[in-house]
Structure formats: structure tokens, C-alpha cells
Chain A
Amino acid sequence: MSSGSTLGVGSALHSFLVFQMEKSNCSRARQILDSLVSFLRKFIFRILSMGPLPNHIAFIMDGNRRYAKKLNLIDGAGHKVGFLAVTSMLKFCYELGVRNVTIYAFSIDNFKRSPEEVQSLMELMQEKIEGLIKDESIVNCYGVRVYFVGNLKLLSEPVRLAAERAMLATAKNSKAVLSICVAYTSTNEIVNAVEESVEEKWNQITVLEASGAGYGLIKLGGIEHHESEPLIKLVDIEKHMYMAVAPDPDIIIRTSGEARLSNFLLWQSAFCYLYSPSVLWPEIGLRHFLWAILNFQRHHSYLNKKGEQLQHLLQDGF
């Protein structure tokens, strides 16, 4: 894809020049270059907007440690560079008009890493979360409401409090949504949703029983009585998911070439397009983003049909 490689060279050149220019305080040249690249990008996005756009893109940010090893960086530096890639991707998404973005920042499985690495990641997360609250942060520039999705009780208190502050501070933003999955696995999310669904139904039955009106409901069978309404329906589980704050993703992008979900959005990924470029997360650029969007547009009619079918299934009480 020659335009893609041109853009790839352009964005790599941009990154390199930005780095050099910052050191030499050559702000004017940097501004001109920034404006040129920004203009080119917005022009391309304007063309893409003529086709269908994804409503929700999710990212599995894989490859930070391999990146650090590849460049002989110190431990933890890969993740710091990876954060720059996060801000780039968020900028692309919100500029293009993608309303919902989800990132897989820290899995419950990641707690198995060495204590030093976990500690370093927690410190980095806390620092970046506190950065989100600042006025000039990307979330405030684009009017993004931030949610921290996961079993937040597993986080250390400073990180959890920072997350809660960030959610509160961005609660008034309404143009877009950023869901940051921390201390998250999809199976944990589903277990929690099942617990809450069952508890909600149990409370409803208990209340009705106490009022003497619950006998009919208690007779509700489950799967063995087809004519009866099931106790729990799909919509009951969905509304208790941590990710109920956003629609299902249209695209899941996992970098570093690994093709697996790693316990991320298992429920929500039922119909979405899975894209796994071989690039490491800190190296992801505009060309990968554009390729994902173009492939989404190619399959959009299929996705629409599946969406309609799913609606029919929901109406049938499934």
C-alpha cells in the first residue's frame, strides 16, 4: 500500500523530527511540521468519514516489553513509550469521530508478573491517571468521559483513588467515552454480572414473596419449562457487565502479531472484526489505524446484518 508506506514514512519521520526538534528547542519548525501532518491526516479522515465508521474500537496493547528489549531500553521504558502510542491512537480515534475507545491496560493475569514490574506499572498508571485530570489532557480536549473498568478492589489504594477521582472529574464530558480496563478479565466481568443478575432476581422474588404477590414468579421454571419465561435473560446479564458503559466494539486491535483475546471482552467481541498487526504496541502508527478502518468498512454490511439478527433474538426473549 504505497500511500500507507508514505504515511508510515511520514509518521516515522514526524516522530523522529519531533524528538530532535524538542531537544534543540526548534519550536517554529516543529509547529510547521505538526500543522502539515495534521492537515494531511484530517484530509484522509474526511475522506474515510464518507463511509461507515466504527462506533467503538478496542485495543490490546501488546509488545511493550519486547519493544524495550529490542531497543535495549531499561525495564519499564517500553511501557512509557507505549503510553505515547496510547495518546496517538486516542487522538486518531476521536479526530475521526469514533465515540468509544477501550484499552486493555492491566489484566488480572498481569498480577502474576514480578512484583517490581507490577509496582512499576501501578506507578506509571497512577501518574498517567492523574495526568488525565489536567485541563490540557487529551480527554478534556476532546470531551471524553473516562471509565475504569474492572475489579478495582484489586488495585492498590492510591491507584484506585486516582481512578475514582478521574472518573468523577470527567463525568461531565459527553462527546466521547474512554474505557480503561484495569484489574480486568472478561471471565471475572461475566462472573460479576452473573452474580449481580442472580442477586437482583432473588431480591425481586423475595420482595414479591413478602408482599404475597410472588407465587406466580416463583413458579417460573428455567430451561426445562419452555413455556415459562426464563429466570435470567441475556439483557439481564448485559446490563450488569462492567462494559455496559459502551456498545460492543466494532474492531479489536491487538498488536505484536499475537492472535488471541487473552480474556478481553469475550462477551462483547462476538461479532467484531479482529485485527492483529505484527507491529509492537509502541510502534503502532497511522497506517495501521487506517488499515483497520478500511477493513471495517469492507465488512460493514455483514456487521449490520448480524446486528439486526441479534436484535431479533433479543426480542424473542433469548
Chain B
Amino acid sequence: MVETLTMVFSLRFSSLSLPPHNTITLYTLPHVPNHRLRSTSNVSPPSSTLLIKHSLCPCAAPTQQQHLLVPEEEEEEEELKCINEAPSLENDSLPPGLRRECMPRHVAVIMDGNRRWARLRDLPVGSGYEAGVKSLKTLIELCCKWGIRVLTVFAFSTDNWFRPKVEVEFLMSLFEGGVKDGMGSSLRENIRISVIGDISKLPKSLEELIINVEESTKNNSQFQLIVAVSYSGRYDLVQACQRIAMKVKDGIIELNDVNESLIEQDLETNCTDFPYPDLLIRTSGELRISNFMLWQLAYTELFFAQSLWPDFGEADFLEALQSFQRRWRRYGE
């Protein structure tokens, strides 16, 4: 589990080359995205609104192409807006072996293995975190270059508060320094930074910094980096439930109105248009989710890499994306 908050905000984005705005390219479907799914079956199935939000890769799911994809009239305007806003990819920006139309929109990463990496080299734990910073920088560059719109990283979980106090304090101070450094870079490179998690548990100065960086980058639209700090999937659901309870108490909604959409709107990932990761990568060989986004991972393809996080590079990311593109996503069909 990577707790290296500082890595996010100490990144130097100046070396990133973001794709130009002047062409229109679709990422997930060759057709207009965000279609509503309508079943061909005569049985009226209860629909899961989650399915609408997940990208459908026609390459990976031949049966999905036979499925009726009927755009709702009222969504056409929104769909056109989506097309126009989608950043384009240069033809040669993807490495061989990757298909542009099957690239994930949202990738999530559990950056595990920094401390083990340091221990294996008889280095202090801090060296592991520094090496992890470089890996994250590489990953962000690749995501921007290859057209991935959102990257969520699990930086610090609620469980990590149980780490030794000295280690936690060290990380908090590194993070604070990193936020200050990274703010200017994000503005220059049109990167939006969002933080999810219970930031009230962080030192006050850090909490204010985070609020500032979120506010100052909120209009950036090329790429969004979501950092999960003091976050747990269960905490996310509980706080969404608390919000809903308040809305019912205040008469804003009825109890019967509670559905999947409503919960999705109150989850912390409501800071992005693409709250559901298409691909989750966990490094260091651990085969578990560790209380990361639980609701949001309902249909996410999971990829477990053996490399420790500081060793996770372009080749490993390419392997993960190739594995993703080979998957057959059926969504229950």
C-alpha cells in the first residue's frame, strides 16, 4: 500500500506532452458514447444504471455489438459535447499492440510495495517512497500520452493511520511540500487534481492546501488525477449514506427515491465524469482490493502485477493495458 502523498504533488509536469485539442476522437466506442442499454429480451430486466457508466469495448465483447445500443434523444446533445471535449490522440502516440478504441477511460492503481522495495535494497523506507514518486510520474505521463482521461491512485488508506506515528507524520509533511510544488505545474499543464477521502483527519494546513489545489485546478479538463487520501471504500459508502439520510430528513428526497444513481451522486468520486474505473492495477503481487473503491469497482477489470510499485514502468503498464484489451466484458450477459 502506497502512502506516498508527496509523490503526487512534487511531480514536475513540464515534461508531459499532452495531445492537442484540435481534432475529435472517440475513446471507447466507435459510435457515440454513453448509450443507454436496452435489452433485446422479452423479459423486462431490472436495469443497473452502473452499466451505463462503464465503457464498452466492442473489440473485447462481440456479443455487446449485437446488443441494442439506442441513443436517447435527450442525450444527443450531451454526447456531442462529450465528443467535442474528448482530447485527441495522435495516430502514432500509442505503442504497437494497443488499440485506440479499446483504451480504458479511467485507470485506478493501488501502488503497493514501496517499503518492500526499500527493505530488499537495505535502504530506508523514505527511499522506497522516492522511487515510488518516479513510477507515478512515469504513469501520469503515459496516461496523458495515451489518452487515458482519469487516473485514481490509492495513496493513503484509513488503515494506514495505524502505521507508526513517525512514519505517518513524515508522510504528511512530505505531502504538504509536494502540494505546494505541484500546484503551479498542474495549472500549466491543464491537469485537474482532486482528492477523495476523509481529509478532516489530516493536519489543518494540509487540508487547506488540498482545498486550494482542488479549487484552482477544477476547470482543467485534459486529464484528471484523483488521489485517494485517508480513504476507504466502505467509508465512501457510509458518507454517501449519511448524505442521503440528511436529504431524506430534510425532505429533499423521499425514501423511495433511493437508488443506485443517487448513491453514485453522493460518493466521493462525484468529482469526475468517469467515476468507474475500467481497469484496476495492483502491484507487488497482492491479490486483494484492500478497501479501495468498492462500489465503483463493480465491473472493473482487475490486473495484479508482480512488480513492486517502484519497479512498475512502461512495460508493466503496457502489459496491463494489453491484458485489459484482451478481456471479454459481458456485464452479466
Interface window among A23-31, A34-42, A130-138, A261-269: A261-269
Contact B158 A260 (CB under 8 A): no
The answer for the CA separation of A234 and B237 in the assembled complex, in Å, is 9
Interface flags, A106-121, vs B, CB<8A=1, else 0: 0111111111001000
Contact B287 A274 (CB under 8 A): yes
User: How many B residues, CB 8 Å from partner?
Assistant: 58
Known A108-B48, A198-B241, A266-B295; 17 more pairs at CB < 8 Å: A112-B39, A112-B45, A114-B41, A118-B43, A187-B48, A188-B260, A197-B241, A198-B255, A202-B248, A223-B242, A233-B238, A237-B241, A261-B299, A274-B289, A275-B287, A306-B159, A309-B162
Contact A191 B162 (CB under 8 A): no
The answer for the CA separation of A242 and B99 in the assembled complex, in Å, is 41
A271: Cβ under 8 A from any B Cβ:
yes
Interface flags, B211-254, vs A, CB<8A=1, else 0: 00000000000000000000011110111111111101100000
Contact A111 B43 (CB under 8 A): yes
Contact B41 A113 (CB under 8 A): yes
A-chain residues with CB within 8 Å of residue B327 when the two chains form the complex: 258, 260
B172: Cβ under 8 A from any A Cβ:
no
Residues of A53-85 whose CB lies within 8 A of B: none
In the assembled complex, the CB of B252 is this many whole angstroms from the nearest CB of chain A, namely: 13
Contact B237 A267 (CB under 8 A): yes
Contact B200 A226 (CB under 8 A): yes
A230: Cβ under 8 A from any B Cβ:
yes
Q: Contacting B50 at CB < 8 Å: which of A187, A260, A295?
A: A187
A-chain residues with CB within 8 Å of residue B239 when the two chains form the complex: 223
B306: Cβ under 8 A from any A Cβ:
no
Contact A269 B246 (CB under 8 A): no
Give the residue name and chain of the A residue nearest to B240 (CB).
A194
A213: Cβ under 8 A from any B Cβ:
no
B-chain residues with CB within 8 Å of residue A266 when the two chains form the complex: 233, 294-295, 297-298
Contact B304 A111 (CB under 8 A): no
A89: Cβ under 8 A from any B Cβ:
no
B-chain residues with CB within 8 Å of residue A222 when the two chains form the complex: 242-243, 245-246
Contact A191 B243 (CB under 8 A): no
A-chain residues with CB within 8 Å of residue B290 when the two chains form the complex: 270-271, 306
Contact B263 A194 (CB under 8 A): yes
B-chain residues with CB within 8 Å of residue A113 when the two chains form the complex: 41, 332-333
Q: Which residues of B contact A (CB under 8 A)?
A: 37, 39-43, 45-46, 48, 50-51, 158-159, 162, 200, 232-235, 237-246, 248-249, 255, 258-260, 263, 286-291, 294-295, 297-304, 327-329, 331-333
B-chain residues with CB within 8 Å of residue A112 when the two chains form the complex: 37, 39, 41, 45, 331-333
Contacts A266-B297, A274-B287, A313-B158; is A234 near B238 (CB within 8 Å)?
A: yes
Contact A259 B301 (CB under 8 A): yes
Contacts A198-B244, A271-B290, A274-B287; is A205 near B249 (CB within 8 Å)?
A: yes
A102: Cβ under 8 A from any B Cβ:
no
Contact B43 A115 (CB under 8 A): yes
The answer for the CA separation of A114 and B45 in the assembled complex, in Å, is 11
B-chain residues with CB within 8 Å of residue A269 when the two chains form the complex: 289, 294
Contacts A111-B43, A112-B333, A271-B288; is A187 near B298 (CB within 8 Å)?
A: yes
B-chain residues with CB within 8 Å of residue A274 when the two chains form the complex: 287-289, 302
The answer for the CA separation of A255 and B174 in the assembled complex, in Å, is 43
Contact B333 A231 (CB under 8 A): no
Contact B249 A202 (CB under 8 A): yes
Sort A-B residue pairs by CB-CB distance and give the 9 closest, nearest first.
Answer: A109-B332, A111-B45, A270-B291, A259-B302, A263-B298, A266-B294, A231-B245, A222-B246, A222-B242
